[in-house]
Amino acid sequence: MIIRISLWLVFVSLPVFLLVELLLRLSVPVLPDILSRLAAAILLSAFALLLLTGAVAIFKIIIGTVFDYFSSGQRIQRRLLYIQARHDQIKRLFYFRTVQMKYFTDVKRRSLLKINNHKHIHSLSKANQKNLLAIKKNYPEQFLGNYNKKMPAIERNRILKPC
């Protein structure tokens, strides 16, 4: 409705400007000045009314939006969205923490396994050495002497022979 009034005022001011032009051509002395001021005032009031209407409409929209933003329904909805986002964040954090824990436990397990294997190899080596010493005591000295003499030649052949 207000836009119609503004348009009506613009359309009313146009004939007044044409009347001012006609009176100037007819050389009427004072009347064109008064009518031109009247037409300018009508045109200015039309644009002012249009701007004022726009400002009031924007102000109403802003006030309505602010009241809607602070309404209880919107507050509850924002709180619910916050809780859902926080829940999703905690789930992602839990997942990444479990992946991290699995990784570090696997690294620790491998380290312990390596240490255990190293200890086990040493204990097996010591046990084998004891067994070999026990077996060596059972063989005659003459056999071991021949074995020690043949051993370097066997080693050379094994190293020089391609696999």
Rg (CA), the chain: 52
Per domain, the residue ranges of the chain are: 1-55, 90-163
Q: How far apart are the first and last CA of the chain?
A: 104
Question: pLDDT tens digits for the chain (163 residues)?
Answer: 777 888 888 888 888 888 888 888 888 888 888 888 888 888 888 889 889 999 999 999 999 999 999 999 999 999 999 999 999 999 999 999 999 999 999 999 999 999 999 889 988 888 888 887 787 777 766 666 666 666 666 565 665 555 5
Structure tokens at 145: 């002497």
Place of tokens 């010591």: 126
Residue whose C-alpha is closest to residue 1's, from 56, 39, 42, 44: 56
Record the pTM: 0.46
